[in-house]
A and B are shown apart, each in its own frame.
Chain A
């Protein structure tokens, strides 16, 4: 079974709709991250959380919100989706500070299309 899972894997929605993407992990890691990947732009950090109830903005947080209500779960919401939020979204975890290197482990991704 995958250590980091994301649901849904694919989603098509319309402009203005509210969307929630879910991430779950069985690795027991405290730190969780949300990234988006756009063709030709690489990965950009949206939000991250170092512990339950801890939320931090990343590079491109506008238009997004997150919730970390359990160690194993970190959800990303688009309150009112717009077409330029069409992208591949990744959740990641890391074991820092238990390991000193903060190596990150990624989920399989959610492909979101906003029409």
Chain B
């Protein structure tokens, strides 16, 4: 059974710091991995999706990397801002293909201090 772990559960950093959020998964045979942002009381916003054949994806100040062999993904946030404060979740889809379900981590709650 695929398990997705995100440690630590919470993180607090000063504004301007570059930071890395980690995601690990137990079954390396994945189809793709998706990073989401969740604001308090709100839905999930898709940030980046990495296919199993890709090593990284970039969007603005965000960069997500994928290392299937070690079962790890990282979300890099450059020059963090208070507006980046939110919970970040990663989710993986197994290599059964696009029909397989997403398995979510529990998320990392990020606080960026002004």
Contact = CB atoms under 8 A, between A and B. Distances in A.
Contacts of A40: 106
A101 B44 contact: no
B43 A45 contact: no
Interface in B57-114: 89, 91, 93, 98-99, 101-102, 104-107
Interface of B: 4, 31-32, 34, 36, 41-46, 49, 51, 89, 91, 93, 98-99, 101-102, 104-107
30 contacts: A4-B43, A40-B106, A42-B104, A42-B107, A43-B89, A43-B102, A43-B104, A45-B102, A48-B101, A58-B101, A96-B99, A97-B98, A100-B98, A101-B49, A101-B51, A101-B98, A102-B31, A102-B32, A102-B98, A102-B99, A103-B34, A103-B49, A104-B34, A105-B46, A106-B45, A106-B46, A109-B41, A109-B42, A109-B43, A111-B41
